[in-house]
Amino acid sequence: MKHIFLNLKRFDIPKEYGGVNSIAPIWEWGSYIVSSIQERLKKYEKDSVEFAVYFPEAHLIPAVQALCENSPVKVGCQSVYRDDTAVDGGFGAFTANRTANGARAIGCTTTMIGHCEERKDKAGILAEAGVTDRKAVNRILNQEIKRAVSAGLSVLYCIGESSQEQERWKEVLKEQIDVGLEGVDKSRIVIAYEPIWAIGPGKIPPDKDYITMIGSYIKEITEGCDVVYGGGLKVDNARMLAGVPVMDGGLIALTRFQGEIGFYPEEYLEIIKTYMGY
C-alpha cells in the first residue's frame, strides 16, 4: 500500500498575522480542506493508497465533521502527550497537552510523532534543563507512540539526521528507531524519513540513489515497516519518488513555494495525481 500524508503545520494562520493562509477563514479552514479534497480522492482504491491529513488541534473537530460517508481521508493530530486518561485512573488533568484518548474521542484515527520540528522543540527544552543525554528525546517520543497505539491511533513516526549527524546517519537513524519504537507494535507504524540537512531554501535534496539507500536500511532494521519520504513530496519530485521501489509514499506540506506561498487543495491533488500516475 502507498501512503500520502499531509502535514498542515500552522498553515491556518492568516497572512495579516504572519501566516500563509489565504484559502479560507480560519474558523472554516479545517472543514474547507477536507471538503475540497475528499470527493476527488475517491477515485483511488482504498486498498492501494492511504490519505492522512494532520491538522493543528483547533481544526480537528470541524475536519472530522466534514468527512463524508466512506471518505478516503483520515484525520490526524500533530503528536500526542506522553501520558493519558484511563478508566478508574487519571481523568484528564493535563492542562496544555493533547492526549491520545482525547484525539481519538474527537475522531482522529492517526497521529504524527517525532517530526523534526517536534524533536527540535523537545531537545531545546531538555537543553535548558541541562540534559545532555541524546537518547532522551527518543525516549519521550517512545512514550508518546505507546500512548497513541494504546488509544487505537496509527502513527507516522518521523526520523532523520541533521547536517552535523550526516556522516554517522546509520547510527542516528538506528538509535531513533531502536529507542523510539522499543516495545511498540510496528504494524501500527509507518516511518517518515526526513533528511533534515536538505530541508530549507537553497538546500540540495537527496537524489534517488540516496533515498533508495536510506529506505532500504530503514526497512532492514525495522523488519519491513513501510517507509515514506518526509523531505517534502512535491510536483517536482513526485515522479522520481514514485520510481523508488523501497519507498511507500511521501509527506506533503506546502504546495507552493514561490509567490503566494502556502497550501492549496488543488495543488495538493495535482501532486497526488503526478505521484500515482493518474
- Residues labelled catalytic: 115, 194
Q: Do the bridges between strand 49-55 and strand 2-7 make them parallel or antiparallel, or are there none, so unpaired? A: parallel
Rounded Cα gap, residues 9 and 110, in angstroms: 15
Of the candidates 168, 163, 157, 175, the residue with the CA atom closest to the CA atom of residue 230: 157
Rounded Cα gap, residues 151 and 214, in angstroms: 30
Across-strand partners of 191?
157, 227
**To which H or E segment does residue 112 belong?**
strand 110-113
DSSP letters of 227-255?
EEE-S---HHHHHHHHT-TT--EEEE--S
**To which H or E segment does residue 78 belong?**
strand 73-78
Rounded Cα gap, residues 65 and 35, in angstroms: 10
Q: Which three cell numbers stand for residue 37?
A: 479534497
CA 112 to chain centre: 4
Rounded Cα gap, residues 240 and 148, in angstroms: 32
How long is the chain?
A: 278
Q: Do the bridges between strand 249-252 and strand 110-113 make them parallel or antiparallel, or are there none, so unpaired? A: unpaired
Rounded Cα gap, residues 74 and 270, in angstroms: 19
